[in-house]
């Protein structure tokens, strides 16, 4: 007999996990709605050209693509940003444009713990503001979501322009920038020898590689590190300008202890153009970033006639759930109380339905037996489904307009009047 399973790296979402996801979704939506962001949904299947326009080689290698019956090349989205940028490019909305989405994306890479080929992302985008205030808000709103979920984060921040200016300062060939940038992104993950080997493979000299590692391997509080960088590069106007941008960003973010300057953060996706950041749970950093993003000026202009500045952030649901589980934070979920109504016969079923409707009106999840089975089997079902309360409705309860509500955990009963 054939056993049918989802494709490798993909999974179904069972009721318990969906309940946890709904709680996370509600926190995300509540925070973003309170900041004035509007939820949207772009299509999951894009034209290949839409993703290829600005995806970066690494992401394109992981895209699920195919041809349809009309021989058009299509692709499943690898993130939510490109689709939202395409939407915005074809709309005429007052600026700033503040949008968010929650949905599935696909990447054909190696499945691992907390990482699947089909995964759910939450994504926030802010279009139309060429100011560090927009970058600061995106970082702040993302951090607020994690705070509401109970997580203690370290948000690592950098500026890709600063990194590119340092490349220029070290006279690295512009044709090598993308390969060198990918290696810079690996600095926190690999040993010094491995990083130097990667730089050599990318085509830069040993002297350039050692200088890059020395400069970009630094991480610390902005108030401590920025003065050092200013002094070190005071004669270079471009680098100084990028350092000043970072200084303004950290000033706008305030003195939150969770924000750090990490010069190795560059983000692998090719459309980032300025400030970039990644956030890690302080207790479970090995699982990877919980959200990441940055400025991507120029992306909207690819999809339409009008370009506009933009900054955004995205996070993976599966990894977030893993971290929440390991931190024991699902215990703080506010679950809707549930009650099972057990009618003793069909004659009292209409009355039992009225009681169920009353419970629902008062915020309970109320279920009434639909099978006509006996009370013992109804109680067995209620126990297996772990209802909070149960009540039996018979002729006596119908006539008196009262019923006994039993707490399934304690066994205590309380007389209720309908």
DSSP result, 120-147: EEEEEEEES--SHHHHHHHHHHHHHHHH
Strands 38-39 and 153-159: unpaired
pLDDT recorded at residue 320 = 94
Domain span holding position 72: 15-331
Residue 295 lies in a domain: yes
Q: How far from chain centre, in Å, is Cα 403? A: 46
* pLDDT of 297 above 70: yes
359 in the same domain as 264: no
283 in the same domain as 263: yes
pLDDT recorded at residue 336 = 87
State what percent of residues in the chain have pLDDT above 90. 78
pLDDT recorded at residue 112 = 77
139 in the same domain as 261: yes
Q: What is the mean pLDDT of residues 307-334?
A: 91
58 in the same domain as 190: yes
Strands 73-76 and 65-67: antiparallel
59 — pLDDT class (breaks 50, 70, 90): low
* pLDDT of 20 above 90: yes
Is 298 strand, coil or helix?
A: coil
pLDDT recorded at residue 164 = 94
Q: What is the mean pLDDT of residues 301-321?
A: 91
343 in the same domain as 325: no
Tokens 């340092």, residue?
Answer: 166
Query: In this structure, are residues 249 and 135 in contact, taking their beta carbons and an 8 Å threshold?
Result: yes
71 in the same domain as 47: yes
What residues pair up with 187 in beta bridges, in sequence order? none
Q: What is the mean pLDDT of the chain?
A: 92
57 — pLDDT class (breaks 50, 70, 90): low
pLDDT recorded at residue 413 = 93
Residue 58 lies in a domain: yes
Residue 4 lies in a domain: no
pLDDT recorded at residue 270 = 65
317 in the same domain as 350: no
Residue 123 lies in a domain: yes
Residue 260 lies in a domain: yes
pLDDT recorded at residue 178 = 86
267 — pLDDT class (breaks 50, 70, 90): confident
Residue 234 lies in a domain: yes
Between these two residues, 119 and 1, which has the higher pLDDT value?
119
pLDDT recorded at residue 256 = 78
Residues in Cβ contact with 104 at an 8 Å cutoff, skipping those fewer than 6 apart: 44, 118, 119, 120, 121
| Residue 383, domain CATH | 3.40.50.800
pLDDT recorded at residue 255 = 78
* pLDDT of 2 above 80: no
Tokens 């599935």, residue?
Answer: 104
- C-alpha dihedral, 94 to 97 to 103 to 108, nearest 10°: 120
pLDDT recorded at residue 26 = 95
Residue 5 lies in a domain: no
Q: How far from chain centre, in Å, is Cα 72? A: 31
140 in the same domain as 187: yes
115 in the same domain as 258: yes
268 — pLDDT class (breaks 50, 70, 90): low
pLDDT recorded at residue 58 = 62
358 in the same domain as 291: no
* pLDDT of 188 above 90: no
Domain final residue pick, 331, 362, 397? 331
99 in the same domain as 28: yes
Question: What's the number of domains the chain is made of?
Answer: 2
Residue 167 lies in a domain: yes
pLDDT recorded at residue 103 = 97
The token pair that represents 205 in the structure block = 């000299």
352 in the same domain as 327: no
| Residue 112, domain CATH | 3.30.930.10
Between these two residues, 3 and 135, which has the higher pLDDT value?
135
Domain final residue pick, 331, 365, 400? 331
* pLDDT of 90 above 70: yes
Q: Which of 407, 406, 411, 405 is nearest to 358 (CA)?
A: 405
Domain final residue pick, 308, 331, 354? 331
Q: What is the pTM of this model?
A: 0.87
Q: Which stretches does DSSP call E strand in 211-337?
A: 219-220, 259-262, 275-281, 291-295, 310-316
Is 165 strand, coil or helix?
A: helix
């Amino acid at each position: 007999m054939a056993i049918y399973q989802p494709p490798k790296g993909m999974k179904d979402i069972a009721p318990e996990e969906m309940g946890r996801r709904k709680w996370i979704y509600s926190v995300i939506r509540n925070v973003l709605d309170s900041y004035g962001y509007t939820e949207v949904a772009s299509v999951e299947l894009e034209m290949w050209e839409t993703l290829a326009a600005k995806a970066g080689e690494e992401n394109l290698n992981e895209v699920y693509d195919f041809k349809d019956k009309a021989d058009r090349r299509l692709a499943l989205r690898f993130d939510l940003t490109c689709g939202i940028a395409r939407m915005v490019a074809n709309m005429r909305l007052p600026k700033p444009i503040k949008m968010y989405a929650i949905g599935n994306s696909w990447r054909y890479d190696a499945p691992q713990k907390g990482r699947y080929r089909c995964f759910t992302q939450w994504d926030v985008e802010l279009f139309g503001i060429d100011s560090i205030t927009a970058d600061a808000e995106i970082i702040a709103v993302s951090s607020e979501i994690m705070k509401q979920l109970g997580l203690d984060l370290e948000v690592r921040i950098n500026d890709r322009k600063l990194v590119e200016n340092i490349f220029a300062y070290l006279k690295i060939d512009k044709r090598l920038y993308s390969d060198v940038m990918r290696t810079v992104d690996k600095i926190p993950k690999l040993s010094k020898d491995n990083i130097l080997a990667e730089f050599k493979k990318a085509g830069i000299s040993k002297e350039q590689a050692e200088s890059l590692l020395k400069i970009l391997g630094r991480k610390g509080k902005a108030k401590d590190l920025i003065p050092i960088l200013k002094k070190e590069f005071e004669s270079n106007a471009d680098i100084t300008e990028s350092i000043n941008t970072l200084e303004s960003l950290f000033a706008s973010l305030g003195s939150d202890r969770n924000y750090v300057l990490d010069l190795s953060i560059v983000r692998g996706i090719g459309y980032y153009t300025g400030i970039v950041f990644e956030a890690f749970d302080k207790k479970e950093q090995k699982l990877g970033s919980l959200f990441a993003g940055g400025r991507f000026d120029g992306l909207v202009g690819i999809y339409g006639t009008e370009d506009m500045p933009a900054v955004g952030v995205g996070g993976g649901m599966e990894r977030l759930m893993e971290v929440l589980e390991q931190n024991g934070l699902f215990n703080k979920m506010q679950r809707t109380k549930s009650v099972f109504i057990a009618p003793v016969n069909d004659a009292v079923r209409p009355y039992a339905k009225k009681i169920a409707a009353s419970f629902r009106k008062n915020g309970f999840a109320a279920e009434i037996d639909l099978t006509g089975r006996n009370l013992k089997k109804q109680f067995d079902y209620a126990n297996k489904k772990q209802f909070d309360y149960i009540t039996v409705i018979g002729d006596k309860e119908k006539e008196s307009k009262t019923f006994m509500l039993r707490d399934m955990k304690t066994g205590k009963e309380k007389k209720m009047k309908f």
